[in-house]
A and B are shown apart, each in its own frame.
Chain A
C-alpha cells in the first residue's frame, strides 16, 4: 500500500466523518452566527464525498487496506461488486446533501450529518473485506437511517421510524447470527464467505438467516412494510438515498454471503423467486391506489428489488448462472439507484422549480428518469430478464413458467411511475426558486449520471461480454412499457368519466393503507401488548422477595436494631472486625 493509496482511503473515510463532527460542534457566540456557520458547513458538506468518488474511480488501483488492530481485524477493498455501487452511492448522497441545503428543510445540519453517517455505513458495506467490518458498516448505516427517517418529527415520521427500527434491529440480530456462523465456518474474510457457507454444517440455517436478515433492508415481501411508510415520511433527499443506495446494501449482503456459484440450493432459490415475484406484482395495486407521489415510488422500489431478488434466487438455484446473475444484479442495481434516486429527488425539485423557467427541462429529465426506472432504454432490465430466462426450466416450478412473468415487472414499474408523476404534476407546487445548485446537481445526476454511470458500471462489471447474453432486442425491452402506458391512459380516461368519490379510480390511500400488512400487524401487536401488561409478574416477584426477606428476618432476629447501630460508621467498623473474627475462629476450629 503506497502513501497515496493510504491517503485516499483516509480522506474517503475521514472527510465525511470530520464534516459530521464539524456540523455537530459548530457553535457561534449567538444563535445568528451559529446558524451562519452551520449554513456555511451545509453548503460545502457535499464536497466531503469527493474522495469516495475518486476511490470508486480508482477501483482496484486503490489497493487493499489491512488493519489488524482495528475492531477484530479490518479489511477494505473496492471490488467488482462494490466499485460501481460505491460510485452511484457517492454521487447520489452528494446530490441529496446539496438538495437538503437548497430546499427549505428544518434543521438541515442535523439531516446532513445523519445522511453523511448513512453514507459512511453504506459505502462501508460496499467495500468491506471482512465480516466484522461489513457488520459495523451495515449497523452504522441502519442506525443512522433512523435519524434520517424521523427527521421531520411529525406523527407519521415517528411511526415510520419506529416500524423501520423494529424491523432493522430484528434484521441486525438475524444477520449477526448468520455472520457468527459464517465466521465459525471459516468465512471471516468476505472473499472466503460463499465457499465457507457452502461447506458449513448448518448451511440451510445460514442461508435462511442471510436471506431473511437482508430481505428486511432490501424490502422483500413481507419484510417490505417499512419502505412505503418511511419514504413519504422522510424528506425527499432522504428518500432518494433510502431507495437508491440503502436498499442496495441488502442486495450486496446477499451477493456477499450466499453460496452463489458454489452449491445449488433449489429450495431456497425457488422460495425467494416466488416471494420476490409476488412482491413485484403485489406492489402494483398497493402502490397505484395511493395519493402521495412518494408512496407509488416506494412500491415501485419494492417491485424492482423483487426483480433483483429473482436474479439472486436464480443464482442460488443454478450455480452455473451465478456469475452472470451477480453481474446483472449489480448493473441493474446501479441503474435503479441512479434512476430511482433521481425520481425521489425530483419530488423536491418539482416543488421548487415546477413553475419557473426550468419547468420544461425538469419535466424532460423526469421523463428520462421514469423511463429508466421502467427498465427499458438501455436494456439493463432486459439483460437481467434474459439471464433469468435461461436459468429456470418451467418444470422446476411445477410446470408454470414464472420467468415469462418477468417482463411484466416493467409494466408494473411503468404504471407506478406514471401514477407518481400524475400525483406530482397535479399536486401543489411552491413558488419558483432561482436556478440553484440542487437543480444543477439533479440534472447532472439525471442526465449525466443515469447514462454515464450505467456505461461505467458496465465497463467495470462487464455483464454484456458474457456470451449468449447480448442478444436482447429493443422490442423485448419496449413492449412492457407500452402496455403500461396504454393501461394508464385507459385508467385516466375512465377516471375522467366517473365522479370523484370512487375509491378505485380516485384513490386516496384508503383501499390499501400505505405499508399494507403492517397496519394489521400493528393492531395485533397492540392487542398483545395490552394483554402482556395485564398479566403482571409483580405478585410473583413480590412473593419471592417477601420470602427472602422473611428468611432474612428470622435469621437476623432484630435486624432493625442491628441496622440502626450499623448506620453509624464506628459501629460498623466493629462489625467488620467481629465478622472477621468469627470467620477466623471458624477456620481455626475446622482445621
Chain B
C-alpha cells in the first residue's frame, strides 16, 4: 500500500487543507477586501475540485492514500482516500465551488462576509473530514466539528427566528452527538479502535456473535446520533426550522454538508463498521427500513401542508434523504447502489431547488408558494431549473432522480421486499403532489399583481439577465447536471457506476 510512499500519504491532509486553510485565513481578512476574499475562496474550492477529480481514476483502480497518526495511545487518527470517501468528497467539492460562487452573488455588499465565508470554509473542511475519516473516532471528531461550524451559518442573520432555528439545531445535534459519542465510546471499549473496512470489521462479527444485545444497542445508539443529522423522523425537527438560514447555507445544509454527513455516517455504520451480513444477521436492518419508510411518507405528507417554499423543500429533504437510509437497509446490491447514487443525485436536485428558492426570494422577494403564480414569465431560467429538479425528484426520467429510484425499486424487488416498492411509489405520488402545484403555478398561474413586489434591490431594471449571474449560473449548472448525469448514467465513472464500484466492495463482489 501507499503507506510506504512518503509523499502520497499526505494527500488526505492536502484535501482537508484546501478548504480549512482558506476558511481560517478568511476570518482575518478585513470586511472590505472583497477581491482577496473571493480569490481565496475560489482558489480553495477550485483546487479541491481538481485534486479530487484527479484522484478518482486512481481510487477506482484500487489505489489508497492513508495518513495515520496516534491520537491517544491505542486510538489512531486516520484519514484515508478510498472510493466511498472520494465519492462524497467529489460531491462536496463540486457543490461547494458552485455554492461559493452563489454565495458571493447572494451576499453582495452585506456585512460580516468574512465571518460567513470563514465558517463556510470550516463547514466544508469538516465535511471533508467526515468523508476522509478512517475510523469511528476520527469520524466523530469531524462530525461534531461540523455541528459547531454550521451553527454560526444558520444564525447568520441573527434575527429572532434565525436564533430560534439555530438553537433548535444545536439542541438536536448536540444531543445526537452525545448519543453518537456514547455509542462510539462503547464500541471502542468493546472491540478497540477499528478502521472502517469494506466488508465491516471482523472484530464486530465476533462481538455480534458473542454479545448480540450489546452489538444491537451500540448500533442504535450510533444510529440515533447519525439519525439527527440524517433527519430521520422523529429526529428531524431541526431541519425545517433551520431553513431560516441564508439560501447558500440551506443549499449546502440540505444537499451536501449536514444532512449528507448523517446518511454518509449511516452507510458507514451499516456497511463499513458492521458489514452488511452482520447487520442483516443482527436483524437491525428491518427496523431501519421501517424507520426510513415512515420518514419518507410522513415527511412527504408534511411537505404537502407547507406554503413556505423553503419549508416544503425542507420536508422534501427529510423524505428524500431517507431514500438513502432505506436503500442501505435492504440487502441487495441494486438497492445499495441506488442508495449511494442517491447521495449525489439528491444533492444535485436539492441544491438546484434551494438555489432557485434563494433567487426567487432575493430577486422578487417571494418566499411563499401561493405567491409564485406566473413567475415563470419573469424568471424563466430560474423556474426552468427548478422544474427540472422537481421533476427529477418525482423520479421521472431522464433526470437523475429516476436512476436512483429505479435502482432502489429494482433492489426491493430483487430482495423480495415488495412493501418497499409500494413505499417508493407512494412517496413518488406524494412528491408529484407537492412539487407539481409549484411548477403549475410558476408556468400556468395567473400573476397576482398585488402580491408582486417589484422594487427589490437585486432586480436590476433593464438588465440583460433575470438575476445576478453569480447566482443564476450555479443554479443552471446544477439543473443541467441533473439531466446530464441522469442521461449519461451508463458512462464509465458516472456517479452511478462509482456507486456500483463502491457497492461491489461492500458486498465483496
Contacts and interface: CB of A to CB of B under 8 A. Distances in A.
Interface of A: 67-73, 132, 135-136, 139-140, 143, 150, 153, 158, 165, 169-170, 172-174, 176-177, 180-181, 183-184, 537, 541, 544-545, 548-549, 551-553, 555-556, 559, 563, 566-567, 569, 572, 575-576, 579-580, 583-584, 586-588, 590-591
Nearest to A153: B444
A173 B188 contact: no
Interface in B46-82: 71-75
Interface string B161-177: 00100111011101100
A541 B152 CA distance: 27
Contact of A71 (B149, B188, B489): B489
Contacts of B490: 67-73
Nearest to A136: B397
Contact of A549 (B168, B414, B489): B168
B42 interface: no
Contacts of B74: 591
A262 to B, nearest CB: 20
Contacts of B414: 184
A165 B444 CA distance: 14
B429 A545 contact: no
A177 B405 CA distance: 11
7 contacts: A69-B491, A71-B403, A183-B410, A553-B171, A569-B119, A586-B181, A590-B189
Given A68-B490, A544-B237, A169 B429 contact: yes
A567 B163 contact: yes
A93 B199 CA distance: 55
Interface stretch (B1-9, B138-146, B279-287): B138-146
Contacts of B413: 180-181, 184
Contacts of B148: 572, 575-576, 579
A159 B432 CA distance: 17
Nearest to A165: B436
B390 to A, nearest CB: 11
A533 to B, nearest CB: 8
B111 interface: no
Chain A interface secondary structure, helix, strand, loop or mixed? helix
Contact of B175 (A73, A174, A555): A555
A563 B166 CA distance: 9
B167 A563 contact: yes
Given A569-B27, A579-B144, A591-B73, 17 more contacts: A71-B489, A72-B489, A132-B397, A136-B402, A143-B391, A143-B396, A177-B421, A180-B409, A184-B413, A537-B302, A548-B172, A548-B234, A572-B148, A586-B185, A587-B75, A588-B72, A591-B75
A567 B152 contact: yes
Contacts of B174: 552, 556
A587 B428 contact: no
A583 B140 contact: yes
Given A136-B398, A180-B413, A567 B158 contact: yes
B152 A587 contact: no
Interface string B181-208: 1000100110001000000000000000
A184 B411 CA distance: 9
A560 B119 CA distance: 22
B381 to A, nearest CB: 11
Contacts of A73: 490
A552 B188 contact: no
B188 A591 contact: yes
Contacts of A591: 72-75, 188-189, 193
Interface of B: 27, 71-75, 115, 118-119, 137, 140-141, 144-145, 148-149, 151-152, 155, 158, 163, 166-168, 170-172, 174-175, 181, 185, 188-189, 193, 234, 237, 301-302, 391, 394-398, 402-403, 405-406, 409-410, 413-414, 421, 425, 428-429, 432, 436, 444, 446, 486-491, 496
Chain B interface secondary structure, helix, strand, loop or mixed? helix
Given A165-B436, A567-B155, A583-B181, A132 B406 contact: yes
Nearest to A533: B305
Nearest to A576: B148
Contacts of A180: 406, 409-410, 413, 421
Given A153-B444, A544-B237, A587-B72, A72 B406 contact: yes
A67 B491 CA distance: 10
A67 to B, nearest CB: 8
A559 B167 contact: yes
8 smallest beta-carbon distances between A and B, as pairs: A552-B171, A136-B397, A69-B490, A173-B425, A180-B409, A184-B413, A591-B74, A169-B432
Contacts of B137: 587
Contacts of A590: 185, 188-189
Given A68-B490, A567-B158, A583 B141 contact: yes
B442 to A, nearest CB: 13
A139 B396 contact: yes
A541 B436 CA distance: 25
B410 A184 contact: yes
A351 to B, nearest CB: 25
Nearest to B74: A591
Contacts of A132: 397, 406
Contacts of A71: 397-398, 403, 486-487, 489-490
A140 B137 CA distance: 48
A589 to B, nearest CB: 9
Contact of B234 (A169, A176, A544, A563): A544
Contacts of B75: 587, 591
A107 B409 CA distance: 40
Given A68-B490, A136-B398, A587-B185, A545 B237 contact: yes
